[in-house]
Chain A
């Protein structure tokens, strides 16, 4: 079955440490995204990529980095520069829009990152 896989499900980071969250999809989707969700709040866009080897900053990119070396993979690194990284991180992918209403997002099951 096609889908999008995030790992790990839970991640604990020490202060000053960089950590990388994995996101892999086998849906043949061109676009991939990283969102952050804080308790009781909506999703905020960190980075997105519409094509291999290209990505764009979202609304809250500071303290994060990404790469898109393969269509299937879009890892997110949370660097030590991100001062408040504890959150629920969601990866998503989407196909290209061909007509009205087509192709919403497909989300991974998320990674809960906690700073200890």
Chain B
């Protein structure tokens, strides 16, 4: 079983739509969680950390559900510029410098 699993998509949504991605992780000892954004042929860039209490940054909201071992990313009022691949990243408290990446969920926002 993979450490981190994501639906590869693509999610094709119109501008202005709300879209949500989930990511499941297998290790209950996982400690830190992140969402990264990767544009085509570019390096991943940190979008937001995911805290136990959930966190919001503008149109983006991240949630953590430890009981069910998943994290989510909600994007409201989608923009064309949100089109990218969104990577879920998880690490373990036992090897806190080792991160596990999901294979990413592709989002296409269309006019």
Contacts and interface: CB of A to CB of B under 8 A. Distances in A.
Q: Do A and B bind each other?
A: yes
Interface residues on A, range: 20 to 34
Most chain A Cβ neighbours within 10 Å, of B32, B36, B99, B101: B99
Given A107-B43, A108-B43, A101 B96 contact: no
Interface string B27-68: 000011110100001111110011110010000000000000
A43 interface: yes
B98 interface: yes
Interface residues of B, number: 27
Contacts of B44: 43, 90, 105, 107
A109 B42 CA distance: 7
B102 A42 contact: yes
B69 interface: no
B51 A100 contact: yes
Contacts of A88: 41
Contact of A104 (B31, B89, B102): B89
B32 A100 contact: yes
B72 interface: no
5 contacts: A48-B97, A48-B98, A90-B43, A97-B91, A105-B44
Given A43-B44, A101-B32, 7 more contacts: A31-B97, A33-B99, A42-B87, A43-B87, A43-B101, A88-B41, A104-B36
